[in-house]
Amino acid sequence: MARMLGICQIYSLDGRPMSTNTWPEEQLRCVQQIQEQEEIQLGGLEERSNALLDRGLQKLAREVAERMDEAQEYQRLTATAVESRLVGQLESYNGRLLAAESWRSAFQERETARDQRLGTLGEAVRKIETSCKEIPTLQARIEEARAAIKEDLAASAMSAFQGEMRLWAKMAQLGVTPPSLPHQAPSA
């Protein structure tokens, strides 16, 4: 700007040398023209800067939109992959859960049946135990019965023998000859 002012001091804008009495007016006019040119240039620069800024912003907006689209597509693909994997795992876990529930149900049925059998066996063991406690008493009663039977048999045999002896004695008194007994084989 100082350079232009230096030119203005010597020459007018139309290229003629200036006189010294018109110098301040010319100087002022020169400064005003320079200011106008600078304002025009500044306006042009602002327009170009705004245009470049607009283009840069549009380009940036496109890049951001493209990246967002790419990110959304990646997220969608990832979500789809995760969802399919989770669905597969859920189906697997549901199958395992059903199998576990089935096994648990069967186990509970077996456990209930086992508990019933154990109860029945426990009752049978108690009955056997009670019966086993009665065995010595029964053995004593059997021994008593055997002894009584032996005594009865001995008494009966003795009574029969005594009766037979009386019969033989009576027969001998009456003079009856004893009947002949069939010949028996010797006892072993």
The answer to whether residues 20 and 34 touch, using CB atoms and an 8 Å cutoff, is no
b or e along 43-57 (b: 16 or more beta carbons within 10 Å of the residue's beta carbon)? eeeeeeeeeeeeeee
What is residue 117's predicted lDDT score, i.e. its pLDDT? 93
Q: Could you report the per-residue pLDDT of 121-173, keeping only the tens digit for each?
A: 999 999 988 888 888 888 999 999 999 999 999 999 999 999 999 988 888 88
CA distance 171 to 182: 19
Q: Which H or E element spans position 38?
A: helix 23-174
What is residue 149's predicted lDDT score, i.e. its pLDDT? 93
With vertex at residue 13, the alpha carbon angle to CA 9 and CA 17, rounded to the nearest 5 degrees, is: 55
Q: In a structure prediction context, what are the per-residue pLDDT tens digits for the chain, which is 188 residues long?
A: 444 444 444 455 566 665 555 667 878 888 888 888 888 888 888 888 888 888 988 998 999 999 999 999 999 999 999 999 999 999 999 999 999 999 999 999 999 999 999 999 999 999 988 888 888 888 999 999 999 999 999 999 999 999 999 988 888 888 877 666 555 555 54
What is residue 79's predicted lDDT score, i.e. its pLDDT? 92
**Token pair belonging to 107:** 């186990």
What is residue 187's predicted lDDT score, i.e. its pLDDT? 56
Q: How many CB atoms lie within 10 A of CB 8?
A: 20
Q: pTM to 2 decimals?
A: 0.37
Interhelix angle 23-174/2-10, rounded to 10 degrees, is 160
Domain boundaries, given as residue ranges, for the chain = 2-159
Radius of gyration of the chain (CA): 70
DSSP code of residue 188 = -
**Token pair belonging to 53:** 């800024």
What is residue 43's predicted lDDT score, i.e. its pLDDT? 84
End-to-end CA separation in angstroms for the chain: 168
